[in-house]
Homo-oligomer: A and B are copies of this chain.
Amino acid sequence: MLVIDKYGSQPIYEQIIEGIERNILLGILKEGDAVPSVRELSVSLGINPNTIQKAYLELDRRGSIISCAGRGSFVREGAVISIKVRARGELDTLRETARRLKMAGVSLEELTKTIDDVYKEAEE
């Protein structure tokens, strides 16, 4: 369910956060569903439980999951919409990247083409 690149530059805990949220957006994890326990993920991914814990804490803080001591963690009601709202913030990232590409002389057509292609890709 989750693919982690242990040697990448993106922190592992961030990869976990994004991975869980991706699963929620894709409907693989539905609202109310149980999320794998910290221990479970730790073992299956071969990653330090503290790192998983850190990711879950952040997911909880964001309102994507809710963790109940002794019972486990669950996808929060309303998680999908809240994740989507936060994701819109990435429009700023897109804008920044586009600016840099513009300055490097990349044409608007090329950018538009790139984005079109992404939208034509099949959902994994």
Contact = CB atoms under 8 A, between A and B. Distances in A.
Contact of A104 (B61, B83, B102): B83
Contacts of A11: 69-70
Contact of A112 (B74, B93, B115): B115
A105 B82 CA distance: 12
Given A91-B110, A98-B119, 11 more contacts: A6-B71, A84-B105, A87-B101, A88-B104, A90-B97, A90-B100, A97-B97, A98-B114, A98-B118, A99-B118, A102-B118
Interface of A: 6-7, 11, 22, 25-26, 61, 66, 68-71, 74, 83-84, 87-88, 90-91, 93-95, 97-106, 108, 110-112, 114-119, 121
